[in-house]
Amino acid sequence: MEEVTNVTEYQEIAKKKLPKMVYDYYASGAEDQWTLAENRNAFSRILFRPRILIDVSKIDMTTTVLGFKISMPIMIAPTAMQKMAHPEGEYATARAASAAGTIMTLSSWATSSVEEVASTGPGIRFFQLYVYKDRNVVAQLVRRAERAGFKAIALTVDTPRLGRREADIKNRFVLPPFLTLKNFEGLDLGKMDQANDSGLASYVAGQIDRTLSWKDVQWLQTITSMPILVKGVLTAEDARLAVQAGAAGIIVSNHGARQLDYVPATISALEEVVKGAQGRIPVFLDGGVRRGTDVFKALALGASGIFIGRPVVFSLAAEGEAGVKKVLQMLRDEFELTMALSGCRSLKEITRNHIVTEWDTPHAALPAPRL
């Protein structure tokens, strides 16, 4: 096998290895998949303004997220059902994240439980939460995550209903029979029935609470001491409301372009959300990050860090734990190189002036250089 030299190459390897139903589930977006392509394309329209003749012999990529020190601003987004990609599933991902010194977010719909993931050893882990109609299920799950040592909740807020993913409808997607949604196994919610369309869409329609609103973000704070990240914000208005509701942070996300098609790329929505949050809480980005240059662009636009989703499942499918480790290492190396070539030695030195976007006014008055 040819040596993998960038993150994107894992997708083709995964496509060859995985059953069509599984690959399509991971790879596809909603409806026309316009946003799926745009999540990537929007990065390519942001250009660099590198600063030269700066001593870049030492580069510090470390940062803190909700008070937790991590090695780099690159973290693992929640992705469901990882054992469909590789038998070790979430166990392998957790070990890779821990080895890289970064944060893993475990999906509610994982094929390994919070306790099983905790058993892989030390590591900073967040738990992604879907709010079920039965709030006792939610309260129990949050308590279990907290007991298992998870440090934060990433509350997904863009899924009152599942987006229309046509490949899943054509394939009659269903969780393979030898797997279960492990966090719900004891609650009789761990299996997914075959449906006339997408088994997951039917599961969501039956179990996930469409009445979810800001008051529930406040309710969650009464049942846990874990900080809450609101995942799925795309507007300044909702950023302000997230701050008011007591969120500890925001993840700018369009659910990997799997929910509402024709929303902007997350990198295009990021600056608006950052402005809406007014520096009161950190803003993170998820969606379309495949290169170290993408990470730099997100930080230049005000993100405190980024999350990767599909690259994890594709590399997991290709090479298991070693694949996920390699993805994290490649992104780290590329990001470090981008910082060096842009003249930035630490994350705080990455500024808005290091990039230029389509929406910038040409020749904006920039500060005079100081030597």
Question: Which of 216, 251, 80 minimizes the C-alpha distance to 139?
Answer: 216
Active-site residue 255, yes or no?
Answer: yes
Residue 231 host element (H or E): strand 228-233
Ligand-binding site membership of 310 (annotated): yes
Ligand-binding site membership of 286 (annotated): yes
Ligand-binding site membership of 290 (annotated): yes
Q: How far is CA 6 from the centre of its chain?
A: 19
Ligand-binding site membership of 332 (annotated): no
Ligand-binding site membership of 288 (annotated): yes
Backbone angles phi, psi at 342, to 5 degrees: -95, -10
Ligand-binding site membership of 165 (annotated): yes
CA distance 23 to 19: 6
Ligand-binding site membership of 156 (annotated): yes
**Backbone conformation region of residue 53, classed left if phi is above 0, alpha if psi is from -120 to 50, else beta:** left
Ligand-binding site membership of 202 (annotated): no
Ligand-binding site membership of 363 (annotated): no
CA distance 145 to 228: 13
Which of 86, 255, 354, 363 is catalytic? The answer is 255
Ligand-binding site membership of 193 (annotated): no
Contacts of 66 (CB under 8 A, 6+ apart): 151, 152, 227, 229, 248, 249, 282
Q: Could you say which DSSP state residue 348 is in?
A: G
Contacts of 69 (CB under 8 A, 6+ apart): 62, 63
Count of all residues that appear for the chain in the document: 371
3-class SS of residue 165:
coil
3-class SS of residue 129:
strand
Ligand-binding site membership of 253 (annotated): yes
Q: How far is CA 82 from the centre of its chain?
A: 14
CA distance 218 to 214: 7
Backbone angles phi, psi at 354, to 5 degrees: -85, -5
Q: How far is CA 97 from the centre of its chain?
A: 13
Ligand-binding site membership of 182 (annotated): no
Ligand-binding site membership of 240 (annotated): no
Ligand-binding site membership of 338 (annotated): no
Residues noted as catalytic:
255
Annotated binding site for glyoxylate: which residue ranges?
25, 165, 255
Annotated binding site for FMN: which residue ranges?
78-80, 107, 128, 130, 156, 231, 253, 258, 286-290, 309-310
